[in-house]
């Protein structure tokens, strides 16, 4: 009995020792630690690709849409002293001139198939390049897409390509953009000259009256001017496209293209209107904020014109913007 009791105690001791050993081994296992504060976990590298500044607009088929023509240069604006014709121009028509003392005068034309709708500024006003100075009215069907302020600077460049798709109708088809997208003030048409007055020839009592000349045929008529408009894109499709007034249209607008440019995801970039910042990640996994120059964007990636070599590691998300610019995102 005594031997059995001693044996039992030995077995219990071995079991207890084993259990203690397991507990000690488990306690000695290391728990995965957290990265140091400020360590960047998500990164990207710049890549190169073809890029276009493209946006989608909602438009409507419209009869006789109004659009604006801008000044081609800085200078003094002088309108031609003519009444506009009601007959659409068969070729580009000269309607005003911008004079600059240091350059040759620059003529302003309205396009073929349009009529002058109104003067947007006073005669002899000082103007700057790109300022709307006359309104014109396209004769026939066109497509009008309203533009909000968030889209304005993306569309403000030269519109290189517009394609339209009519809802449940023709498309996609090319659509030629007319004039500027800028908002237009109300256009005015000058008062016609006073009617001719018959007056006796000087020094000749009872002589036949001298009648003042009137405007030649084709220069009379015109309109009461044009109404103010908001920012809008006006385009005209080819003559073979069947249009119905009021039909809904989706426009795909390309304002600029670039080939094999350096890009980053928009989430990695902070900045507006050409100026931006990115965070470069060093070997120690810490951020260093640098300035970059931004270019085109398609909403997914943004062009990096300068500021990076192309082999850097960039943190995502990008650096925080100052409070007054937060949430604006990169633009081209």
List 121's β-bridge partners, or say none: none
The residue among 82 and 237 whose pLDDT is bigger is: 237
Asked if 60 and 234 touch (Cβ cutoff 8 Å), the reply is no
Q: What is the pLDDT of residue 292?
A: 96
Helix (H) or strand (E) holding 240: none
Asked if 314 and 321 touch (Cβ cutoff 8 Å), the reply is no
The residue among 297 and 33 whose pLDDT is bigger is: 297
Could you count the other beta carbons within 10 Å of the beta carbon of residue 307?
A: 17
Q: Return the percentage of the chain with pLDDT > 70, whole number.
A: 73
Q: What is the pLDDT of residue 214?
A: 46
Asked if 144 and 60 touch (Cβ cutoff 8 Å), the reply is yes
The model's pLDDT over 156-199, given as tens digits with 9 standing for 90+, comes to 766 778 999 999 999 999 999 999 999 999 999 877 666 666 55
Q: Rounded to whole angstroms, how far apart are CA atoms 65 and 145? A: 11
Q: What is the pLDDT of residue 262?
A: 96
CB burial of 159-171 (b: ≥16 within 10 Å; e: otherwise) equals: beebbbbbeeeeb
Q: What is the pLDDT of residue 257?
A: 85
Check whether 24 has a pLDDT greater than 80: no
Q: What is the pLDDT of residue 274?
A: 83
Check whether 98 has a pLDDT greater than 70: yes
For 241, residues 6+ apart whose C-beta sits below 8 A from its C-beta are 170, 173
Asked if 106 and 73 touch (Cβ cutoff 8 Å), the reply is yes
E strands of 139-209, at which residues? 141-146, 161-166, 173-178, 198-199
Q: What is the pLDDT of residue 114?
A: 95
- Give the residue ranges of DSSP H helices in the chain: 2-28, 149-155
Kindly indicate the confidence band of residue 55, based on its pLDDT and cuts at 50, 70 and 90: confident
Out of 27-31, 131-135, 323-327, the most confident range is: 131-135
The model's pLDDT over 121-159, given as tens digits with 9 standing for 90+, comes to 999 999 999 999 999 999 999 999 999 887 887 787 667
Helix (H) or strand (E) holding 210: strand 210-211
Burial class (CB in 10 A: 0-12, 13-18, 19+), 1: exposed
Tokens 């009215």, residue located: 137
Tokens 């507006």, residue located: 272
Q: What is the pLDDT of residue 93?
A: 94
Q: What is the pLDDT of residue 213?
A: 45
Residue 200 φ then ψ, to 5°: -65, 145
Question: Looking at residues 73-90, what average pLDDT do you find?
Answer: 87
The model's pLDDT over 260-316, given as tens digits with 9 standing for 90+, comes to 999 999 999 998 668 899 999 998 888 999 999 998 888 889 999 999 999 999 999
Short-list 194, 215, 213, CA closest to 82: 215
The model's pLDDT over 203-249, given as tens digits with 9 standing for 90+, comes to 555 555 554 444 444 444 445 788 999 999 999 998 889 999 999 99
Q: What is the pLDDT of residue 79?
A: 95
Tokens 């073979």, residue located: 240
């Amino acid at each position: 009995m005594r031997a059995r009791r001693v044996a039992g105690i030995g077995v219990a001791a071995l079991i207890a020792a084993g259990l203690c050993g397991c507990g000690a081994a488990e306690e000695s296992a290391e728990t995965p630690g957290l990265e140091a504060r400020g360590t960047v976990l998500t990164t990207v590298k710049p890549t190169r690709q073809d890029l276009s500044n493209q946006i989608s607009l909602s438009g409507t088929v419209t009869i006789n849409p109004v659009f604006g023509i801008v000044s081609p240069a800085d200078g003094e604006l002088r309108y031609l002293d003519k009444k506009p014709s009601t007959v659409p121009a068969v070729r580009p028509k000269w309607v005003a001139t911008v004079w600059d003392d240091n350059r040759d005068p620059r003529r302003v034309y309205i396009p073929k198939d349009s009529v002058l709708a109104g003067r947007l500024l006073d005669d002899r006003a000082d103007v700057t390049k790109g300022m709307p100075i006359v309104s014109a009215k396209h004769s026939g069907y066109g497509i009008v897409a309203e533009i909000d302020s968030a889209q304005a600077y993306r569309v403000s460049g030269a519109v290189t390509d517009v394609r339209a798709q009519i809802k449940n109708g023709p498309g996609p088809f090319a659509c030629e953009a007319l004039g500027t997208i800028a908002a237009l003030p109300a256009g005015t048409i000058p008062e016609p000259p006073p009617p001719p007055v018959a007056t006796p020839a000087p020094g000749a009592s009872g002589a036949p009256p001298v009648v003042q000349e009137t405007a030649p045929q084709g220069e009379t008529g015109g309109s009461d001017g044009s109404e103010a408009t908001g920012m809008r894109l006006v385009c005209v499709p080819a003559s073979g496209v069947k249009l119905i007034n009021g039909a809904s249209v989706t426009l795909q607008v390309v304002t600029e293209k670039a080939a094999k440019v350096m890009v980053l995801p928009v989430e990695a970039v902070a900045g507006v209107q050409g100026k931006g910042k990115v965070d470069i990640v060093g070997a120690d996994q810490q951020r260093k904020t640098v300035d970059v120059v931004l270019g085109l964007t398609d909403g997914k990636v943004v062009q990096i014109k300068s500021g990076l070599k192309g082999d850097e590691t960039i943190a995502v998300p990008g650096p925080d913007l100052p409070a007054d610019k937060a949430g604006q995102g990169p633009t081209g």
